[in-house]
Amino acid sequence: MEESTAGGPDWSMLPSDVLTTVLGELEFPDLFRAADVCTSWRATARALRRLGIYSRPQTPCLLYTTAGGGPGAAELLSLADKKAYRARLPDPPIGERNIVGSSHGWLVTADARSELHLLNPATGEQVALPSVTTIEQVTPIFDPAGGLERYDLSLHGEETQPYAVDELRGVLYLKAVLSCDPSLGDCTVVLIHNPYRELSFARVGDEKWHRIASTPLEPPRYSDCIFGDGGVLFAMNLLGGIHRYTIEGSRATPETILKDISPFVAYNVYLAKTSSGHVLQIWRIKKSTGGEQAEIHTTVVSIYKADFDSQQIVHVPTLGDDALFIGHNCTCCLSTKDYPGLLPNHVYFTDDDEYWLMDGHEICRDVGVFNLEDESANEVVAPQLWLNWPVPVWIVPNFNKINK
């Protein structure tokens, strides 16, 4: 920092406690810039992050990989200042993983052996989740030498489908959601997975996944789930029905709180709560282009409020001051009054189409912002900065550390 001019304040002399408080209220792009002011500010900014006590809520970012960053790094495009920031991440390389979910600043990823990991891009911390072999419908098959040869996926009954070790992850995992920030302890991870879009859960630190039982002849076929107050899980099926689960120990007790309301199956439907507490259903319609370079694009987003008393859904023409995020992330509404970098009455979306993702890693991804007022979709940034795999995902950076 340059010497202060005559009569001007010397900001480098701020008391450390005051400086810590001030810097702790900045979003991370401003914190990074503040660290360049002078030596004392840089030391304080680094200490905030190193000690894991920088907990200021952040504006969502789009996380993706680039050719320039290599397979071991990810970029976070901040919607607060529209700039990208690079994060070096631990092995296995992020570019070689599948991204299954994003909650509370943590990614849920699947490696080349179809094993799941929690990964915090902001801190670099990583936590292994229970083995895929503990999911009830998965059986590991070993070769004569004892090496893992493949996985068999049970389709309920005697029928099984074999998958290569690195292939299972693309078929099995559909979405993962966390109950809370793992750094706070007692965090539960819920998987929506095949066959039949069922649910399994495990607490961070558990040794196995616990299947939430369903009727074999009428599996629930869930599309999305979110956690509510007190760790209660809300899950919505492909017909718009909403079930509430109370998780205790290794069991989850179900209760139907909204009956099936759709006459047809809809795969791209989401569940969220507004900033004022209303429960929303989000119905997303996509259109694919023809030709050799086929692409898929979001063309319609319709939003409905769940009326549990009348057992109906009511169309909501506007989100007001809220912005909505959908995709592999935990579906959420944020008030633009709290996050002025976001656009009110807009839906930020990323690609999460189950069958489209199975078709290949080189397909252009459906990422953008949908304006609910004029029903138009626009790019987040142009030109496209990201590789098509792993699929870009929304994440809210979280600098809290498990190991403080």
Mean pLDDT, the chain cut into blocks of 10 residues (404 residues total): 47 81 92 89 88 89 95 96 95 96 98 98 96 97 96 85 96 97 94 95 97 74 94 95 94 93 90 93 89 83 96 96 97 96 97 76 89 95 88 96 77
Pairing of strands 210-212, 138-142: unpaired
Spatial separation of the C-alpha atoms in residues 331 and 391, rounded to whole Å:
16
Helices (H), strands (E): how many in the chain? 5, 28
**In sequence order, what E strands does 39-186 have?**
61-64, 73-78, 84-88, 98-103, 106-110, 116-119, 126-128, 138-142, 148-154, 160-164, 173-178
Which positions ≥6 away from 104 have C-beta within 8 Å?
178, 180, 181, 182, 330, 396, 398
Spatial separation of the C-alpha atoms in residues 27 and 135, rounded to whole Å:
39
Which positions ≥6 away from 251 have C-beta within 8 Å?
210
Q: Is the pTM of this model over 0.85?
A: yes
Spatial separation of the C-alpha atoms in residues 102 and 174, rounded to whole Å:
12
Per DSSP, helices labelled H in 327-374 are: 354-358
Q: How far is CA 89 from CA 65, 119, 294, in A?
A: 11, 9, 32
DSSP three-state, residue 13? helix
Confidence (pLDDT) at 2: 35
Spatial separation of the C-alpha atoms in residues 87 and 76, rounded to whole Å:
8
**Dihedral angle of Cα 176, 78, 389, 140, to the nearest 10 degrees:** -30
Spatial separation of the C-alpha atoms in residues 171 and 265, rounded to whole Å:
19
Confidence (pLDDT) at 384: 84
Spatial separation of the C-alpha atoms in residues 93 and 374, rounded to whole Å:
40
Confidence (pLDDT) at 4: 38
DSSP three-state, residue 377? strand
Spatial separation of the C-alpha atoms in residues 211 and 395, rounded to whole Å:
27
Looking at residue 355, its amino acid is: Y
Looking at residue 261, its amino acid is: I
Q: Using CB atoms within 10 Å of the CB of residue 322, give its burial: 0 to 12 exposed, 13 to 18 middle, 19+ buried.
A: buried
Spatial separation of the C-alpha atoms in residues 73 and 83, rounded to whole Å:
16
DSSP three-state, residue 279? strand
Spatial separation of the C-alpha atoms in residues 75 and 273, rounded to whole Å:
28
Looking at residue 79, its amino acid is: L
Per DSSP, helices labelled H in 154-201 are: 168-172
How many residues in total does the chain contain?
404
**DSSP-assigned beta bridge partners for residue 227:** 233
Which positions ≥6 away from 1 have C-beta within 8 Å?
11, 12, 37, 38, 39, 41
